[in-house]
Structure 1
């Protein structure tokens, strides 16, 4: 199942970045189809451990039957607490692949894709109550404007928000086709796919609180990874890449690196990748989703 579920991007680069110690404890916080996890297990000895996180119920079907494998059905924002519950205060390496899995895009009922008519859902965690439909029907104009502008980098975010707020008075917006009909006049001719992808990205990030969760996760890695251990993060758009780059370089998301009384930089990681690692031409030829991927690696000081 995992082969069609999600093709892992930059698999070898991720494994190299983790610099795996066969008897170490590793965490794959975005298990998905288990493609990265299976390869990590191949590099671990009999006393190595791999802990995988995924809040998506569909991902649980891909669990690996191996005594060294432990599965946590939680969002990686709860990394530290869940590792403690399993008896691990620190680990040797953490891998995060922040992309939405191909499976989620290809599953019409999940409402992630602009290709199928479906209810506007987009929840990674089906227990959450906030869906894309709730956002479109209850958020005020100003909040919608900000979401589309910041999270989707949509050019006409302000007029888009106004149109949505006006349209929903007469009828709630609940399906993709209904939503497209409401915003049809805003979609630039010849750029329909790109525009809808940006709008959907904005809604998905808001539904799943993706940026807040990412920042919380990154802060937790600083205390969870052992000195010399590795943090390997792959992101697919600048909104994710910016906090990852900043945190690995400076230990914070905004402002400059903190310094101690003697002027020594106080930051948790050493940057291993000066520039983000990107997919090879060979990989791009077979996996178009790798095109926007950026991989960054930090080593715990």
Structure 2
């Protein structure tokens, strides 16, 4: 394994390629291309004939992906874009449908390791957390210093699933009344102090981990972006095409599970209703009854894989469409 591969190891790559059924000639959407690891693996599996359209909000990640995927030439097109805009990008590319789509909801090491981005707290840096800072929008600093107590508590409770959300939000409000909170180290210390001493002593991770996760998800509207992708992707998959989603958070995984189940169900009317009036027809066949998770060897080589969950669904032919064999 070369140094570059060690720095960036795509999670569940073998499983992604197998479940998506990557073959020569496929049109593949990598909706969160990141540093390009999954795209590179899928292009290799396509045997020199597949094409990838890769999207990402992060300009730095997209630049690095472009460097790593340069050997594949015109088989790759990279576009800086929000996840939710993928239908418009497909139209601009001239792709009516794709044969495979992948969404990896995780963070890249490029983002996490740069203190200037503010995603982590191991090294002090400004509280930003925006994946596309050049597009404007509220930063984590703005959110922390301006949001009312109720909103902060809700964000930390919902997105961070932290039972100490109320204590943390109160501590943030009290601290910002003394001076604006502008750095990752100061926020991490505030959260640390807000945690009960007994909880700190037994915590498996730094108490601020969930708060930082929650703020990142809120700043980047990650659940809304994911929901938009899940709602739109069935229309843009060719019959027999497959979509794979890798999530690292229980809220994300539940969204994927519900969306796939919704699209795999014919009638959505209440069970007690005798006749169907909704007219809904299943468009998906779920290929993963339970989420696929990394094995011991992969987790040993890449600790990030420990929390990864992969779900996959296949697009059914529309009524009267025999094009999917």
Q: Shared topology, TM-score over 0.5?
A: yes
Matching of residue 198 in structure 1 with residue 210 in structure 2: yes
Kept after mapping to 2: 8 A contact 1:26/1:94: yes
Which residue of structure 2 lines up, in the alignment, with residue 79 of structure 1? Answer: 86
Alpha-carbon distance in structure 2 between the residues aligned to 1:73 and 1:201: 23
Which residue of structure 1 lines up, in the alignment, with residue 26 of structure 2? Answer: 24
Which residue of structure 2 lines up, in the alignment, with residue 61 of structure 1? Answer: 64
1:168-212 C-alpha deviation (Å, 9 max, x unpaired): 122100002222333332233232734211111100000100000
1:136-170 C-alpha deviation (Å, 9 max, x unpaired): 00111110010000000111111221221122122
Report deviation, 1:257: 5.5
Report deviation, 1:268: 2.4
2:263 corresponds, among 251, 258, 280, to 251
Which residue of structure 2 lines up, in the alignment, with residue 158 of structure 1? Answer: 166
1:274 corresponds, among 249, 274, 289, to 289
SS of equivalent residue, structure 1 residue 215: helix
Alpha-carbon distance in structure 2 between the residues aligned to 1:278 and 1:231: 16
Matching of residue 212 in structure 1 with residue 227 in structure 2: no
Structure 1 portions without partners, runs of 5+: none
Which residue of structure 1 lines up, in the alignment, with residue 53 of structure 2? Answer: 51
1:196-244 C-alpha deviation (Å, 9 max, x unpaired): 1111110000010000000001111011111110000110110110000
| Structure-2-length-normalised TM-score | 0.86
Which residue of structure 2 lines up, in the alignment, with residue 125 of structure 1? Answer: 132
1:81-137 C-alpha deviation (Å, 9 max, x unpaired): 011011112110101111011221111111111211111111111223311111100
Which residue of structure 2 lines up, in the alignment, with residue 34 of structure 1? Answer: 36
Q: Which of the two has higher C-alpha Rg?
A: 2
Which residue of structure 2 lines up, in the alignment, with residue 173 of structure 1? Answer: 181
Which residue of structure 2 lines up, in the alignment, with residue 236 of structure 1? Answer: 248
Alpha-carbon distance in structure 2 between the residues aligned to 1:45 and 1:184: 51
Kept after mapping to 2: 8 A contact 1:250/1:257: no
CA RMSD in angstroms comes to 2.2
Structure 2 portions without partners, runs of 5+: 270-274, 317-325
Count of residue correspondences: 299
Alpha-carbon distance in structure 2 between the residues aligned to 1:85 and 1:151: 34
**Would the alpha carbon gap of residues 56 and 172 (structure 1) be closer, same or farther in structure 2, given more than 3 Å must change?**
same
| Structure-1-length-normalised TM-score | 0.93
Report deviation, 1:2: 4.8
SS of equivalent residue, structure 2 residue 163: coil
1:147 corresponds, among 155, 174, 182, to 155
Alpha-carbon distance in structure 2 between the residues aligned to 1:121 and 1:68: 34
Alpha-carbon distance in structure 2 between the residues aligned to 1:218 and 1:204: 20
Which residue of structure 1 lines up, in the alignment, with residue 200 of structure 2? Answer: 189
